[in-house]
Structure 1
Amino acid sequence: MNGKFFKNIEVATALGLKEEVLYVEKQVVSKTLTQTNNVSITLFAFDKGEEISTHSAPGDALVYVTEGEVTITIGDNDPVIVKEGEIILMPANIPHGLEANERFKMMLVIVKG
């Protein structure tokens, strides 16, 4: 049985987000759970020191850190350290970037209107 909008995830099974994506040395690993015109949900695992350079997205982006710690910079704001169990919102069309202070995992949800 498959979900209508989700992929790469088992149906009717309790899963831990941390275990759904694994670390790889000196890499960023991603696993897309859903991607539609209006919503995307992706899991990421970053090795320490890996980063995503400054960019912007056409929708609001919500980061939920499931393990570890990351520094995120949004627009002209001071960098914010986001730790396991915390979320941060990155507004649409505002430049943002991130750097892994240590190995960390996150779920990224992007919503477009």
Structure 2
Amino acid sequence: MSLINKIDHAKVLDLTEQIPLDDDQVNSRTLVQRDDLSMTLFSVATDQEIGGHSAQGDAMVNILSGEAEITIEGTIYHLTAGQSIVIPKDARHALYAVQGFQMLLVVVKPD
């Protein structure tokens, strides 16, 4: 039984090729969805945003391409390809695409 069952196994992958970066859109592709863990690819077009919200677990944002402005509890962080940030459980946050970006989001929830 595969636990990561929505993406190829034993194959070298470029995650940026797994989620399109379309004009004027936010796209997502779920790789794993469990009660305690989720892994999702997102793409956010330039000048688009994922509005303010919170998560029921710690959320690790891994920027794969482009440039994002991530606001956590009122503090703004600028991230580019290859950079990551952990958003604490229940912290209000939002994401804005300074330049269209792709990311891998991993959320770890309490048991």
Is the TM-score greater than 0.5? yes
Name the count of aligned residue pairs.
110
| Corresponding residue of 1:68 | 66
2:76 to 79, 86, 103: 79
Structure 1 residue 18, shift from structure 2 partner: 1.1
Structure 1-normalised TM-score? 0.93
For the 8 Å contact 1:7–1:32, the answer to whether it is kept is no
1:95 corresponds in structure 2 to: 92
Unaligned runs of 5+ in 2: none
Question: Aligned ranges for residues 1-113 of structure 1 at < 5 Å?
Answer: 4-76=2-74, 78-113=75-110
In structure 2, what is the Cα distance between the partners aligned to 1:10 and 1:80? 33
Q: Name the structure where strand makes up a greater proportion of residues.
A: 2
Q: Deviations over 1:80-109 (max 9, x none)?
A: 101110001100001000100011100000
* Deviation sequence 1:54-101 (CA, Å, 0-9, x none): 11000000000000100000013x211011100011000010001000
The alpha-carbon deviation at position 4 of structure 1 amounts to 1.9
Q: Could you list the runs of 5+ residues in structure 1 that have no partner in the other structure?
A: none
Does the residue aligned with 1:42 lie in a helix, a strand or coil? strand
Identity of aligned residues (%): 37
Q: How large is the Cα RMSD of the aligned pairs?
A: 1.0
TM-score, reference length from structure 2: 0.94
- SS state of the match for residue 57, structure 1? coil
Structure 1 stretches of 4+ moved >3 Å: none
